[in-house]
A and B are shown apart, each in its own frame.
Chain A
Amino acid sequence: MKTVCLYFQVHQPFRFRRYRFFDIGNDHYYFDDYTNESILNKIAVNCYLPTNNLLLKLIRQHKGKFKVAFSITGVAIEQFKLYAPEVLESFRALAATGQVEFLAETYAHSLVALKDEDAFRQQVNMHSEMVEELFGQKPAVFRNTELIYSDHIGDMVSRMGFKAMLTEGAKHVLGWKSPNFLYCNTVNPRLKVLLKNYKLSDDIAFRFGNKEWDEWPLTSSKFANWVNQLDKKEEVVNLFMDYETFGEHQSKETGIFEFLEYLPKEILRHKSLKFATPSEVVSELQVIAPVNVPHPISWADEERDLTAWLGNEMQQEAFDKLYALLPKMNRCTDSRLLKDWNYLQCSDHFYYMCTKFFSDGDVHAYFNPYETPYEAFINYMNVLSDFSIRLNAAVPFSSEEKELANLAGILEDRDEKIKKLEEELQKLRSRKKKKPAPKTSSATEKKKTPKAAANVKSKK
């Protein structure tokens, strides 16, 4: 018996507007609402809504035999709430069928796992809570941003209480071994590891509509035959891909929806094949061996490593400068700063700074708002500069900063006080017009106001 495990990633970042040097310290709004809304709406119409409907139909049709798994980032959920609540509703409808598993990941689709364990745990918890609240299930399986995995990350995830984790079946890690078995973490064998079958996954995600491909056109029955013809001993075929594959990366015209529509039927036609969610795979199958990954891998680009986000000096610089703020962020309680902090961490910002134009340039260009990686970097650093100025004001570190924050606080208090007094004065004056007010009270009020005003002026 072989199990087919389908998993889809759903994520959209909040893209930044063109944030110029002149904006630093003046304007604290970083986002290009128009672009974000129009891109999200476009994907919702092309992909999320039709694919969700199709999946819902298929799940009902196959009565418990067809299952899928999703991971939806917190940032994507926020955009659904803002721009397309109907998408969120359709995901909830899928959740209600009981045949859909939702996985955990970092809330902001961040690379924090490479930097700090505490912050990593916080972001994962934040995401898990959101999933539980929205879809009524507590995630038990974890997928890290861009399927980034190493022995160390697996160990951290295991200690957070997850029973399994998804990652890439990278060739340079597996060597002669097959991804079509259940593996476990080397440090902490209790954590199971599901490896993506990148050949079969990419046949759908990247090659499906390519007419130059010698297997074109790919039909559901052909694909099901491929799966069926795999070695008899192999146990699981992990098909992991971006959800935007359906209708967006592969447009409707390529026939991708027809492919998906007939896929369950064609797979289930073979007696030896079935569908399962990652949790079911983990509980049903036995671990065959530990997988040894000393250096982080991911599912991106030909190299399957971190070079798409941290490959050049610009990305390194942006990444290091961002997380240099972490100690201050831990003390920050300002909700707006916390929110922007999430959006700043999205891996996409680093992806736009990638300079590997030749091998995987096309993929990097998807929904990329920048013309060049340099522009992306400059813009990001400008935003980050403004953010750290705000953070310094909110979480003063040095005595000078503290003093400044104090003074600013005093100023604000005084301003409020003046406003109040002025209002009172106005009231008294208007009353005076009607009839002379009692002399004593108005006199004291008048004395107070100019004094306070003068005080504030001198402070400024």
Chain B
Amino acid sequence: MAVQAVESRTSAPSAFGPAVALSCRECGERFDLGPAFACLSCFGPLEVAYELPAGDPETLRRRIEAGPANIWRYAPLLPVPADVADRPNLEPGLTRLVKADNLAAELGVTGELFVKDDSGNPTHSFKDRVVAIAVEAARAFGFTTLSCSSTGNLAGAVGAAAARAGFRSCVFIPHDLEAGKVVMAAVYGGDLVGIEGTYDDVNRFCSELIGDPLGEGWGFVNVNLRPYYGEGSKTLAYEICEQLGWRLPDQIVVPVASGSQLTKIDKGLKELIALGLVEDRPYRIFGAQAEGCSPVSRAYKDGHDVVRPVKPDTIAKSLAIGNPADGPYVLDIARRTGGAVEDVDDERIVDAIRLLARTEGIFAETAGGVTVGVTRKLLESGVLDASLTTVVLNTGDGLKTLDAVAAGPTATIRPSLAAFRAAGLAAG
């Protein structure tokens, strides 16, 4: 479906709330709201532009606080209709912001350390946030099938959201994903297709499918619905600030796969400042990658502003995107805010998963191991300031990546007190 360039701001259809246009991040050209993702002039990514609510910040703050206990409390800041909370959806968000004092002590953090634990979402990853917004856009555009290219978590989120909202789903994943993610993607009754190749091959396939009659009328949440989908990640920024008492964190550590989430967290923080909902003061954003798929970290360290694609080889499969679409913007944001992009190897990822589980009772998937591992590395090197308020994201559930962590019983014994005593595990 083609989109038209607009000369001036158009009135927003109510299906998109405060959103008024799609805007190219590269050249700034504006287009009508539609199922489009790349600028007609320069191929740059399109993002949603808003006319955000003006007025007293305290009134807006109270309105948000009185809203539903999920992302729809922020509906006035999202491209969704006003009655979105009443439509069948998975009600994601408002996940725990855990004050991680034990982890802080272990890492030598003297300021406040928090873990935003998004494994608490309905399909156990942050993807429920972004899919919820994409579903509303799909409804508005009249799509009846939802699709995506996925490293696993997204496939499950799309399958579940489609089931709940009454869409058909057909999702595409690399053929060699973790069993937990494959089952999660398949169980909701939609079609699941394994592609013989990497995620980047899957993504390329979906990009071609969208221009072909075979994919006619499909809403690919992270392709032709990507501008809307991405906005869901802003809710991570909103929640973190609200849960901190309407306060910006000083430092935030975000996993980087395509880089979309990091760019939208930055967008969300900037919006809160512009609306007067938080004090305008500096914050630093840090990107975290796995060494085996670290094209953005490599570009950051080399001082480049473009990202050279790589062939991924890491246990952190949910971050294994070798050709990250938003990589250049991650570099811009890390540099603009005084942050950094760093990577850790697979051994450190597993160590970090265990560390977070041991200190805070949070079992993260490999992506969470990446953020905690990178946090530790950046604290060791002094790049992260240990005296400030830092938020680390855990975007998924360890139950989906069980194979990454070889853990088992401390002992297996006969059901007798003598056997337990002999195992040396008794009190004292």
Q: Do A and B come from one complex?
A: no
Binding site for A on B (CB under 8 A): none
